[in-house]
Amino acid sequence: MGAIKSKAKLSKAEIKKLEDNTKFTKAEILQWYKGFIQDCPSGELSRNDFTDIYAGFFPKGNAGEFAQMVFQVFDINGDGTIEFDEFLTALSITSKGTMEEKLEWAFKVYDLDDNGNIARDEMVQIVKAMISMAGDENAQQSAEDRVAKIFDVMDTDGNGELSKEEFLEAAKRDQSIVQALSFVKTS
């Protein structure tokens, strides 16, 4: 991943690979590529540009911290930029993926240290960043309260961490958990 840099058009092989690895049609891939190259003429989306894009969606809050966390998941090859294939892969999952695929992607966002588990402090960081992005001044306390409730339900073995299995099973069982993991206020 991350090999598609700026050029006038994608090769047939690149299009085929993207069709095979995403849920987009050839026409959709070409349309997304056109927009991506227009916005990112170098063929790469930098960390700062990604953060600026998020900030534009959330002008009343602070999107910087959350954008940095999400950037890590988009940047599949870890080179510090998002190339078109990485962008399209993430977009495919988040917009057209199954519930399972979306939850697995969300798990990667929450697993900040990429160790296969979500520690309570990792979830507090993410939830705090989401609440702050939405413009809530009481982000820290609200995040800790929300995470405590989430862990009460999700941490079935009581070890203070969420395995991928615990996360996925609890989210599938209870839609209110998915809402609690969202930055949208539920109260």
Q: What is the DSSP string of the chain?
A: -------SS--HHHHHHHHHHSS--HHHHHHHHHHHHHH-TTSEEEHHHHHHHHHHH-TTS--HHHHHHHHHHH-TT-SSEEEHHHHHHHHHHHHH--HHHHHHHHHHHH-TT-SSEEEHHHHHHHHHHHHHHTT-TTHHHHHHHHHHHHHHHH-TT-SSEEEHHHHHHHHHH-HHHHHHTSSS---
pTM of the predicted model, to two decimals?
A: 0.83
Q: Do domains 12-96 and 100-180 have the same CATH topology?
A: yes
List the chain domain ranges.
12-96, 100-180
pLDDT tens for 116-162 read 999 999 999 998 888 888 887 666 678 888 899 889 989 999 999 99
Query: How long is the chain?
Result: 187
State the CATH architecture for 12-96.
Orthogonal Bundle (1.10)
CATH of 100-180, one of 3.30.300.130, 2.60.34.10, 3.40.50.1820, 1.10.238.10: 1.10.238.10
Q: Tell me: the pLDDT tens digits for 58-74?
A: 888 888 999 999 999 99
Task: List the Cα angle 31/35/58 in 5-degree steps.
Answer: 125
CA distance 6 to 58: 28
The pLDDT of residue 108: 93
Mean pLDDT value across residues 10-15: 94
